[in-house]
Amino acid sequence: MIGSINIPLAGILLMTPLGIAIGQILFKMSSEKLVSDQSPFHTLAFNPVFISALAIYGLATLMWIYVLKSVPLTYAYSFMALTFVFVPILAFFMLGEQFTVRYFVGAVLIMIGLNVIQGSA
């Protein structure tokens, strides 16, 4: 057990913000494709990257609902702050965006905050 939850549930709890972060990266990639191709907005409906982003977001939402049936919202929701850690890391590797010192400081503070919140749960 991790705190008051079991290991599989903890894994799902961590996978939810990761899924949201991956969806964000794919949404960004979809928007860049619209700009580079000068495509009309409605063409997103046929864009496989956009469709994948929707599917991943949908799966993350289902995982989130599963988590919420098992743990209090106040416990689970603090994990959503991890999206602020995951998105820039994924953007670095998938989009070539740069890290800054401010990002590292912020990510560390988020992790400390998560530990403080979860320590009191």
User: Which residue is it, tokens 């939810």?
Assistant: 16
Amino acid type, 9:
L
Task: Output the pLDDT for position 1.
Answer: 38
pLDDT at 3: 55
Residue ranges of domains in the chain: 7-119
This prediction's pTM: 0.87
The answer to whether the beta carbons of residues 102 and 36 sit under 8 Å apart is no
pLDDT of residue 27: 96
DSSP 81: G
pLDDT tens per residue across all 121 residues of the chain: 355 678 899 999 999 999 999 999 999 999 998 888 888 888 888 999 999 999 999 999 999 999 999 999 988 999 999 999 999 999 999 999 998 999 999 999 999 999 898 875 4
